[in-house]
Amino acid sequence: MKNYKFRINGNQYEVDVLEVEGNMAKIEVNGTVYDVEMQREIPKVRSVAAPAPAPPKQVKDSRPEPEKVSGKASEVRAPLPGVIIQVLVRPGDEVKPGQTVCTLETMKMENAIKAENGGKVSALNINAGQSVLQDEVLMVIG
């Protein structure tokens, strides 16, 4: 059905998902077959709420304020399981919103992973050639 390669604590695991029925799956890990029960995570739904009307501001200066990036760090996550082909940034690098930060090969296709927010790369959790899971945090931009 599906084949995955995982590296956990330096050990390589080949996992084949043989069959899935309801919340039970039959998988083969490095040649050993297991029956596992899956707990499905409830997908997070992003709700779009209308912003509250802003109170009127007093105009002091006619020049526009520089765009500020929120002080919160944003995580760049893997959209699908796959293998990191190349990493284009290093810790401490400044990135802009929409900038490609790495390339992920998934289902034999290369996908450019882009930063949603700008800022400085504060943590890098990946290397080229590394297998990643869906929603795994690849890097933190703060």
Q: What is the CATH number of the domain that holds 126?
A: 2.40.50.100
Length of the chain: 142
In a domain, 44, yes or no: no
pLDDT in tens, 26-41: 888 888 888 888 776 6
pLDDT in tens, 39-53: 766 565 555 566 666
Span 116-120, average pLDDT: 91
Residue 21 host element (H or E): strand 11-21
In whole angstroms, what is the distance from residue 4 CA to residue 17 CA?
A: 8
In a domain, 78, yes or no: yes
pTM: 0.50
Closest CA to 29 of 52, 4, 8, 1: 4
Query: What's the domain range around 89?
Result: 74-141
Summarize the chain as % helix, strand, coil (round to 5): 0, 50, 50
Other C-beta atoms lying within 10 Å of the C-beta of residue 64: 6
